[in-house]
Amino acid sequence: MSTNPTGLLELSPVLPVVVIEDAEHAVPVAEALLAGGIRAIELTLRTPVAPAAIERVAKEVPGIVVGAGTVTGERDARLAAEAGAGFLVTPGSTDALLDAVAGTGLPFLPGVATVSEAMLLAERGLTELKFFPAEASGGVGFLRSIAGPLPDLRFCPTGGVTADTAADYLALPNVGCVGGTWLTPKAALAAGDFARVEALARDALRGAVAAG
């Protein structure tokens, strides 16, 4: 597979994981994040409007790289690619799923939660991984403990990461970025409070710089 290492972990130290319920919110959310300094966004395929949201951001907000998250099968990978996603993110990794996402030609972050899963992906030449669900799978302590035996692997921990814990992850040598939903709270999106999203993005980047 030639699509990983991808450079995705260098796009932004904080990768917003966004669930869009209304496609009309996609562009203003992306614009708010971009205004706050974020250069990449993961729109999850958890709602029916997700492909349309990805397409709108890809076309209307060229300053941000939009990826598709929660890719769990060939159909998801195909829909995301057709919508214009710049990268794919999976919650876990099976042989069929890895083949499907690799078949799109897009860069991708495959999900892992155990040492054995990480080692299996490394055998396939995949060294940039999503650690999910991060907090439930051991969090900072887990990633710190595997940095020695698996020095060539780098991670984007996602799942339970918060504004308060992001810096702890980013301080680890094997973490390139962190992903989380706290930058785009459901209530803020429902209310159209995109100024709040921009402020959270600025705060997140400020904390990332301090951690680095």
Catalytic center residues: 42, 130
Measured CA distances, 124 to 7, 36, 102 (Å): 17, 36, 11
* Spatial contact of 27 and 194, defined as CB atoms under 8 Å apart: no
Q: Which residues have CB under 8 Å from 201's CB, separation 6+?
A: 14, 16, 32, 33, 35, 36, 37, 38, 183
Measured CA distances, 27 to 8, 62, 122, 168, 180 (Å): 21, 11, 36, 31, 19
Compute the CA torsion angle 6, 27, 183, 167 (nearest 10 deg).
Answer: 30
CA nearest to 13, candidates 182, 166, 197: 166
**Rounded Cα gap, residues 174 and 82, in angstroms:** 32
